[in-house]
Amino acid sequence: MNILVINCGSSSLKFQLINSESEQCIAKGLCERIGIDGSMITYTPAGGEKEKNVTPMADHTDAIRLVLEALTNEKTGVVKNLDEIGAVGHRVVHGGEKFSASVVITDEVMAAIEECNDLAPLHNPANLIGINACKTLMPTTPMVAVFDTAFHQTMPEEAYMYGLPYEYYQKYKIRRYGFHGTSHSFVSKKAAEDLGKNYEDLKIIVCHLGNGASVSAVKNGKCVDTSMGLTPLEGLIMGTRSGDIDPAIIEFLAHKENKSIDEIMNILNKKSGVLGLSDNLSSDFRDLEDGYFAGNENAVRTMKTFCYRVAKYIGAYTAAMNGVDVICFTAGVGENGPLVRSMVCEYLGYLGIKLDEEANNKRGDDTVITTPDSATTVMFIPTNEELAIARETVRLVK
Ligand code: ADP
């Protein structure tokens, strides 16, 4: 069965068509600037040339129409008609406490997703627009929602509660939810599979280090803690997000800089993280690595602070699980950044970790980067959220 995987943002839409039997991506692409001047679609059939078309898209329905046209196009399309698309899997950012697993989309499910809009005002409405657009254009094709938060719903109360008045949890559901769940689930399962061990017997820490970054603790196949919170702002220092800070800084800065809460939040989300900490050198770790090796003090400070924070979370999650068997690095930086991995592992001598430098410098598929006598195994595993969404979709529609 071919599964169309859709990841809808407020003005963008990423898609992949995945064959569920071979688990290969048959075509993929991106619509950008939806509803804005200069909209464009990029489309790449597997093994073919990337095509880029600047074409107006008034809304997400227009964008999905163009995606379906590209997929069925006579020359470069990959399917003859829409009947060859068996189901659609949608990435949905926030499932609140309502969704602890993926679900087949019905009118009731859409209403429940809408009820979570408050918790992710930038993301959930866009996800719903994508679902509605597909419903209009492919009314009989089954659709599944896969939530970023679902994998973390197994966290115990002590891990998800904040030290705030309890009434705010009761009234507004303010608690920690966590994100990147599809990736943490995919990578932790893959680690067990690669090592030939039973997923339910392992204590695994996953470090998803991309532009957005989070760590999770997976004990006996269940997530028991994760570093992002009510929103994706908490936890690690990220590309442009601050991660954990003293909340009193918000008031302090608002007074000193004469800024509103919204302006401060914009700084914490878009101007902080490694970008801000490096005094605007870059949010891209390739630039920061280059700077680090060249002895640029902004890059050195940033790399050290970033890695220290990751190491602290690993320590915390080792405590939370009373041990750790496997540590996995994934996403852009985790998969491609040997410097970050080795700088983090330098803090982990107490876990008996012995890094295999040669393996750590490799790129590509899943790789163990510790020596055989290392007491704890460290690996890098490329994440594949689209494949995970396609698998969930097939499981639910079959
Ligand atoms: P997201 O999906 O959150 O936007 P990604 O998982 O694609 O992010 O990760 C993006 C990050 O990965 C960027 O900061 C980029 O610098 C980093 N990255 C990509 N390739 C490399 C590389 N070869 N070396 C170091 N970092 C890399």
What pLDDT does residue 21 have?
Answer: 96
Tell me the C-alpha distance between 313 and 207, whole Å.
9
What pLDDT does residue 118 have?
Answer: 87
Catalytic residue flag (residue 290) = no
Atom 12 in ligand 1: which residue has the minimum CA distance?
A: 332
Atom of ligand 1 nearest to the CA of 239: 14
**DSSP for residue 355:** B
Helical (H) or strand (E) element with 26: strand 24-32
Taking the centre of ligand 1 as the mean of its atom positions, its distance from the CA of residue 227, in whole angstroms, is 19
Domains of the chain with bracketed CATH: 2-147 (3.30.420.40), 196-380 (3.30.420.40)
SS (H, E, C) 276-343: HHCCCCCCCHHHHHHHHHCCCHHHHHHHHHHHHHHHHHHHHHHHHHCCCCEEEEEHHHHHHCHHHHHH
Tell me the C-alpha distance between 301 and 82, whole Å.
52
What's the whole-model pTM score?
0.95
- Residue indicated by tokens 């399962």: 189
Q: Which of 336, 339, 343 to mutate to test the pocket of ligand 1 (most atoms within 8 A of CB)?
A: 336
Alpha helices in the chain (DSSP H): 60-72, 107-115, 124-137, 157-160, 166-172, 181-195, 248-257, 261-270, 273-277, 285-293, 297-321, 331-336, 338-345, 357-360, 385-397
Cα dist from 294 to 85, 334, 338, whole Å: 50, 21, 16
Whether 239 is in the pocket of ligand 1, judged by its Cβ within 6 Å, is yes
Beta bridge pairs of residue 247: none
Tell me the C-alpha distance between 246 and 255, whole Å.
15
Tell me the C-alpha distance between 23 and 20, whole Å.
5
Atom of ligand 1 nearest to the CA of 363: 23
Whether 187 is in the pocket of ligand 1, judged by its Cβ within 6 Å, is no
Closest listed residue to residue 380, CA positions, set 367, 363, 361: 367
Taking the centre of ligand 1 as the mean of its atom positions, its distance from the CA of residue 13, in whole angstroms, is 19
Cα dist from 59 to 10, 55, 91, 253, 330, whole Å: 10, 12, 18, 38, 33
What pLDDT does residue 120 have?
Answer: 87
Between 6-15, 97-106, 228-237, 250-259, the lowest mean confidence (pLDDT) is in 6-15
Whether 334 is in the pocket of ligand 1, judged by its Cβ within 6 Å, is no
What pLDDT does residue 79 have?
Answer: 96
pLDDT tens digits along 328-354? 999 999 999 999 999 999 999 999 999
Local confidence band at 57 (pLDDT 50, 70, 90 cut-offs): very high
Atom 3 in ligand 1: which residue has the minimum CA distance?
A: 211
Strand residue runs (E) in 134-180: 143-147
Taking the centre of ligand 1 as the mean of its atom positions, its distance from the CA of residue 166, in whole angstroms, is 38
In the numeric block, which tokens belong to residue 290?
Answer: 């280059």
pLDDT tens digits along 260-269? 999 999 999 9
Amino acid of residue 248: A
Q: What is the CA radius of gyration of the chain?
A: 21
Atom 14 in ligand 1: which residue has the minimum CA distance?
A: 284
Q: Are strands 103-104 and 87-92 parallel, antiparallel or unpaired?
A: unpaired
Catalytic entry in 37, 62, 148, 287: 148
**DSSP for residue 204:** E
What pLDDT does residue 312 have?
Answer: 98
Taking the centre of ligand 1 as the mean of its atom positions, its distance from the CA of residue 331, in whole angstroms, is 7
Average pLDDT over residues 294-316: 98
Tell me the C-alpha distance between 224 and 280, whole Å.
35
pLDDT exceeds 90 at position 121: no
CA angle (91 as vertex; 85, 93 as ends), nearest 5: 165
Atom 22 in ligand 1: which residue has the minimum CA distance?
A: 336
Q: Which of 12, 269, 286, 384 to mutate to test the pocket of ligand 1 (most atoms within 8 A of CB)?
A: 286
pLDDT exceeds 90 at position 123: no
Atom 27 in ligand 1: which residue has the minimum CA distance?
A: 333
CA dihedral 326, 332, 335, 341 (to 10 degrees): -70
Whether 363 is in the pocket of ligand 1, judged by its Cβ within 6 Å, is no
pLDDT exceeds 90 at position 377: yes
Taking the centre of ligand 1 as the mean of its atom positions, its distance from the CA of residue 346, in whole angstroms, is 22
